Amino acid sequence: MSSNFGEFRTTGYHLGVDIKTKGTTGHPVYAVGDGFISRIVTNFSGFGRAIYFTLDDGQTAVYAHLSKFPPRLEDRLKAEQKAQQSYFTNFYLSSGEFRFAKGDVIAYSGNTGFSFGPHLHFEIR
């Protein structure tokens, strides 16, 4: 781990944990439980490429600074970017569109957004 929950930073408190990825990108990121991808955000700052994963118990897991998504999800993102004519996105998905089971690969680690090196930012909300 490279950063802990609650660390004080100049912009406020760190609200997740940062998990080291050995200085490389592209490591599989797994669903922490059964649920669905409810939101996708792409930005050059902040979380960069991020997904919000709503668990069946109602909590939301946030995975950020990602490099890419599984092909079907990547295609959905590209369609949204094309429709908006912008790289920047912030859109919501229905509960039946992208369901995953605990342990399924839902993304790949990266170094996008406001990031100082490859890692996975993870939160439970």
Burial class (CB in 10 A: 0-12, 13-18, 19+), 10: exposed
> How many Cβ atoms sit within 10 Å of the Cβ of residue 86?
10
Measured CA to CA in angstroms, residue 35 lies from 86, 121, 124 at distances of 28, 19, 13
Fold held by 21-124: Glucose Permease (Domain IIA) (2.70.70)
What value does the mean pLDDT take over residues 61-79?
A: 96
Better pLDDT: 72 or 11 = 72
Is residue 106 within 8 A of residue 29, CB to CB? The reply is yes
- Report the mean per-residue pLDDT for the chain: 89
Q: pTM for this structure?
A: 0.86
Measured CA to CA in angstroms, residue 55 lies from 38, 94, 116 at distances of 10, 13, 29
